[in-house]
Amino acid sequence: MDVYQEAVQYLESEHVPVEAEADVLEEDVFQEEACLSPLPSESIDFPDTPTLCSPEEMLDRRLVVLKGIMESEEVYLSELEALLMALWASAGTSQPVLSSRQVQTVFYQVPELRDMHQSFYTGLKDRLSAECQTGSSPGEEKEMTHKGFELIVGDLFLKMVNQIGLYGGFIGNYEEAVEVVRKCTQSDPRFRTLAQSMMSNKNGSDKTRTKYTFEALLYKPLDRVTKTTLVLRDLLKTTPVNHRDYTSLQEALRLSRSFLSGVNESSQCKREVMLSHGMRRQLMRDGFVVDACEGERSLRHLFLYTDLLLCTRFKHASRGKQDQYRFCWYLPLAGLKLRWVAEQERSPDTHLRLHTIRTKMYHLREQLQQQKTGPRGIVMAARRKKLEQMELMLLTHSTVYRLEMHSPSGKSHTLLLSSLYELEEWREAILKLTADNIETVPPDLLTLTSACVKLRMTQQPPLHSSNAEDEKSLCGTLSVAVHSACGLQQPACVYVCVEVDGYEFYDKQAKTHSSVHSLNPHWDQELSFHVDGARDLKVLCVSQSDGQGDTVLGKASVQLDSQTLNERWRRQTLHTGQLEVTLSLKYCPHPLKPPTSTTQPPPVFRVPIEIVAQQEGVLVPHVVRCCVEEVERRGMDEVGIYRVSGTTSDIGVLKTAFDSNLREAVTRLRSAEVNAVSGVLKLYFRELPEPVIPTDLFQSLARTLDIQDINSRLVSMLSLLHSCPGPNRHTFLYLLHHLQRVSEKQDTNKMSLMNLATVFGPSLLRPPVVGLGHDGPTVDISQEVVVQVQVVFWYLQCNNLPEAQTSLQHDTDAEEETTHM
């Protein structure tokens, strides 16, 4: 009988599914499995704030960790069984593919490892089963939590770790074993087909069946010995100090670390791993990120290689020794799915904590500046070190974006970043390498992690305090007026994100509100930053899509120079991918005040229109423009628009949002009932302390209604309008043009010019209040309403109304510049 057929029959007799032989053999790839629960690693040797929890919560988390360990042991045992099945299929036939010596090399210590882990798994499963049976009803939950204190497993871990030396022989033979497998594959292609046909059927479900190669199975013990230390570290973190397991787990962790350290030292001389497609694994990018695991944040050094992401823990070396990296986790790039989201609003406690750190950093920076010209003693060095430590704390806890990574096998990790620009650079670099969707032979992680010191391109975390002083960097107020963008291929809701660098004393990122759905988004929104040591400005255009996540359309970087920027606006056009963004910059240098704990923006409602316009750096307040845009987008055909009232609660929510956060308000506006949107616009004008048309013009406008000649009447009314302050005049004109467009569809929406004048007249024009400096004749209430409606009606009938300007003209010193990215 053919050797291959005999081996296949053997596998089938052992109930191991075997795929049919392919006409063309696949390349040497493997499906990376990931049933291991993501076990957190201990944090980097930088200052961090410990997460405090009650003993009951610790025991609950401990039980979750133990269940995850048991599940991962079950998967690992199935992999060892598959490896042993491969042994008998390749060596137990009448014409074996592997010689007895090759079997000894490839499968050295595998049966012993299987027996060791089988014993550990059985003991752990029995004790966990007994624990889970101690209580099942909700009322017994607290009692079961306390009974968790009686769950003892430390002896099981200590027994297993005392036998961990079994892995030493396997690791020593690993490279030779892989070489034997490759030679057998080259000499007999059917051996490869047989190896690739082996399947692990987890939980009996075809959907979760994982395909392995010999190389992948041989790597599993190598991966497991690294995971053992991480598992013990995680379990010890969730075990109370007064628990009977604590001492045993401490000793087990010490033994595991000692073994792993010895393996690391012995693997320094191992050669690089060659990828199965003839490529050599290369480092493409590295940098410091925050790794989120089990609700904890840890600063990590992330390495992006040609075929995988490697997350490591950086260990500062003592003087005279080399830095070290410890393995945390890795993800193959093949099939990796990425998704980024903005984190939820920070809690008040987090805001207070960040403010405290920033304030201390600010005062340390001030002290260092004052001592810069004095003697450089021990005190100054200590303050600089303290400033670096606080920067690291801020870097770890002030993140605002989450980059979620999901492997096809189900393994996931989340990175936290404070910069959308940096996140997009990581995302682009990863996606560029995942285009081929090719999986490779798993790496020797011990060797790869040890090589990080020599391969790294980034030496230290991005700390501004470690940068050299630069006279050209900015210290003061940087204003960015974002005007508009063009170049969209299809209509979209777009916002612009602006980031600055420098010290983290103040907010370093701001966003415009989302534009209305269009091909040519415009904002005319002014963003302001307090900066200290700023050198670069990052600009990103982001498309906002309901329910599908945001998409970065393009990004650009602008170098800041205090010698070229000044208090006059400087206009620039940035090429960011498919979009061209027009913005203006101005810079006012001045000493900075300590950071404040509250960054609440000033309110919009019940505030004079001139003050709101000045605060926003515009001529027409954003609340007016955004409501008008939204009504014109989806309310022009609504019957009774501006006459039918929206829900009072919905209007109140939108009003509160505009008073606190323009971005949030516009986001809510996009999904609110259109009658609530029109209601907010009416409410804004109604609650103005001074109407859009100043009260001292009421009598003059009332008298124009007596002018019989229509043209003379309109000329007089326009002349009076020109005497209004700029924001009042342009806001009134902006609204009039909008209402004229609404009336053009009066056959559908039933809103004629007279109807619109009746709705808005009392809000836009009011008579002076007697006793508040007004000495003229009083106006009868009925006459007052007639004047209000008639004046607005006549303005609406004017066909040659001047165009409204929505934003201030940003005059520049020089011609417009264009930055290409």
Domain boundaries, the chain: 277-343+401-466, 467-592, 609-797
Cβ atoms of 474 and 485 closer than 8 Å: no
Q: Which amino acid is at 472?
A: K
Cβ atoms of 420 and 552 closer than 8 Å: yes
Structure tokens at 783: 């006459």
Ramachandran bin of 773, using left for φ above 0, alpha for ψ from -120 to 50, beta for the remaining angles: left
d(CA 812, CA 19): 71
Residue with tokens 């940068």: 467
Tell me the β-bridge partners of 337.
Answer: 406
Share of the chain above pLDDT 70, in %: 77
Exposure string of 610-649, with b = 16+ CB inside 10 Å and e = fewer, is: eebbeebbbbbbbbbbbbbbbbeeebbebeebbbeebeee
Q: Which amino acid is at 667?
A: T
If one compares 670 and 821, the residue with the highest pLDDT of the two is: 670
In sign, the C-alpha dihedral spanning 366, 372, 374, 378 is positive
Structure tokens at 547: 């329910």
- Asked if pLDDT for residue 256 goes beyond 90, the answer is no
Helix/strand/coil for 609? helix
Q: What is the largest CA-CA distance in the chain?
A: 119
- Asked if pLDDT for residue 138 goes beyond 50, the answer is no
Tell me the mean pLDDT in the region 190-206.
51
- Asked if pLDDT for residue 718 goes beyond 80, the answer is yes
Quick one: 467-592 is in which CATH superfamily?
C2 domain (2.60.40.150)
- Asked if pLDDT for residue 74 goes beyond 60, the answer is yes
Residue with tokens 């061209």: 580
- Residue 513 pLDDT grade (very low, low, confident, very high; cuts 50, 70, 90): very high
If one compares 323 and 307, the residue with the highest pLDDT of the two is: 307
- What pLDDT is stored for residue 377 in this prediction? 65
Exposure string of 295-322, with b = 16+ CB inside 10 Å and e = fewer, is: eebbbbbbbbbebbbbbbbbeeeeeeee
Highest mean pLDDT among 242-256, 312-326, 438-452, 773-787: 242-256
Dihedral angle, C-alpha 702, 707, 711, 713, nearest 10 °: -20
Give per-residue pLDDT as tens, 374-418: 556 677 888 888 888 898 888 888 899 999 999 887 889 999 999
- Asked if pLDDT for residue 206 goes beyond 50, the answer is no
Question: Are 277-343+401-466 and 609-797 equal in CATH topology?
Answer: no
d(CA 65, CA 698): 75
Picking from 677, 589, 583, the residue whose alpha carbon sits closest to that of residue 627 is 677
Share of the chain above pLDDT 90, in %: 41
- Residue 109 pLDDT grade (very low, low, confident, very high; cuts 50, 70, 90): confident
Tell me the mean pLDDT in the region 788-811.
89
- Asked if pLDDT for residue 172 goes beyond 90, the answer is no
If one compares 169 and 324, the residue with the highest pLDDT of the two is: 324
If one compares 629 and 504, the residue with the highest pLDDT of the two is: 629
Tell me the mean pLDDT in the region 695-719.
92
In sign, the C-alpha dihedral spanning 177, 178, 183, 185 is positive
| Phi, psi of 561, deg, nearest 5 | -140, 120
Lowest-confidence segment of 186-195, 411-420, 562-571, 656-665 by average pLDDT: 186-195
Q: Residue 150: CB partners within 8 Å, gap ≥ 6?
A: none
- Residue 784 pLDDT grade (very low, low, confident, very high; cuts 50, 70, 90): confident
Cβ atoms of 616 and 525 closer than 8 Å: yes
- pLDDT, mean over the chain: 81
Query: What is the per-residue DSSP string for 535-562?
Result: -EEEEEEEEE-TTT--EEEEEEEEE--T
Cβ atoms of 820 and 581 closer than 8 Å: no
Distances (CA, A) of 113 to 68, 83, 174, 217, 221: 20, 11, 14, 13, 8
Cβ atoms of 439 and 556 closer than 8 Å: no
Structure tokens at 614: 């000045």
- What pLDDT is stored for residue 529 in this prediction? 94
CATH number of 277-343+401-466: 2.30.29.30
- Residue 462 pLDDT grade (very low, low, confident, very high; cuts 50, 70, 90): confident
Cβ atoms of 176 and 98 closer than 8 Å: no
Give per-residue pLDDT as tens, 487-508: 999 999 999 999 999 988 888 9
Dihedral angle, C-alpha 333, 337, 340, 344, nearest 10 °: -120
Can you say how many angstroms the Cα of residue 45 is from the centroid of all Cα atoms in its chain?
24
Lowest-confidence segment of 333-347, 512-526, 656-670, 725-739 by average pLDDT: 333-347
- What pLDDT is stored for residue 425 in this prediction? 96
Intra-chain end-to-end CA distance of the chain, in Å: 66
d(CA 67, CA 43): 23
If one compares 85 and 695, the residue with the highest pLDDT of the two is: 695
Lowest-confidence segment of 116-125, 186-195, 458-467, 700-709 by average pLDDT: 186-195
Lowest-confidence segment of 498-502, 571-575, 779-783 by average pLDDT: 779-783
- Asked if pLDDT for residue 47 goes beyond 50, the answer is no
If one compares 180 and 759, the residue with the highest pLDDT of the two is: 759
- Asked if pLDDT for residue 36 goes beyond 60, the answer is no
Can you say how many angstroms the Cα of residue 744 is from the centroid of all Cα atoms in its chain?
45
Q: How many CB atoms lie within 10 A of CB 679?
A: 24
Give per-residue pLDDT as tens, 581-595: 999 999 999 998 898
Q: How many CB atoms lie within 10 A of CB 767?
A: 20
Lowest-confidence segment of 305-309, 444-448, 617-621 by average pLDDT: 444-448
Tell me the mean pLDDT in the region 170-185.
75
- Asked if pLDDT for residue 600 goes beyond 90, the answer is no
Residue with tokens 């007994």: 130
- Asked if pLDDT for residue 474 goes beyond 90, the answer is yes
Helix/strand/coil for 325? strand
* Percentages (nearest 5) of helix, strand, coil residues in the chain: 45, 20, 35
d(CA 252, CA 237): 13
Query: What is the per-residue DSSP string for 426-491?
Result: HHHHHHHHSSS----PPP-HHHHHHTHHHH-S--S---GGGSPP-TTSEEEEEEEEEEEEE--SS-
d(CA 73, CA 79): 10
Q: Which amino acid is at 369?
A: Q
If one compares 750 and 210, the residue with the highest pLDDT of the two is: 750
In sign, the C-alpha dihedral spanning 74, 237, 44, 228 is negative
- Asked if pLDDT for residue 296 goes beyond 70, the answer is yes
- Residue 42 pLDDT grade (very low, low, confident, very high; cuts 50, 70, 90): very low
Q: Which amino acid is at 665?
A: A
CATH architecture of structural domain 609-797? Orthogonal Bundle (1.10)
d(CA 516, CA 632): 10
Exposure string of 569-604, with b = 16+ CB inside 10 Å and e = fewer, is: bbbbbbebeebbbbbbbbbeeeebeebeeeeeeeeb
d(CA 572, CA 567): 15
Q: Where are the alpha helices (DSSP H) in 595-646?
A: 609-616, 622-634
279: Cα within 13 Å, side-chain hemisphere:
13
d(CA 709, CA 705): 10
Give per-residue pLDDT as tens, 216-239: 777 778 778 778 888 888 898 889
- What pLDDT is stored for residue 569 in this prediction? 92
Distances (CA, A) of 507 to 355, 473, 512, 531, 603: 11, 17, 15, 9, 20
Orientation of helix 648-660 relative to helix 662-671, angle to 10°: 150
Q: Which class for 251: exposed (0-12), middle (13-18), buried (19 or more C-beta within 10 A)?
A: middle
Give per-residue pLDDT as tens, 308-363: 999 999 877 666 667 788 888 999 898 899 999 988 777 888 888 888 999 999 99
d(CA 696, CA 767): 8
Between vectors from CA 441 to CA 276 and to CA 455, what angle results, nearest 5°? 90
Tell me the mean pLDDT in the region 753-768.
94
- Asked if pLDDT for residue 201 goes beyond 90, the answer is no
Structure tokens at 158: 């200590």
- What pLDDT is stored for residue 219 in this prediction? 76
Orientation of helix 781-797 relative to helix 710-722, angle to 10°: 100
Cβ atoms of 196 and 4 closer than 8 Å: no
- Asked if pLDDT for residue 294 goes beyond 80, the answer is no
What's the length of the chain?
Answer: 821
- Asked if pLDDT for residue 461 goes beyond 90, the answer is no
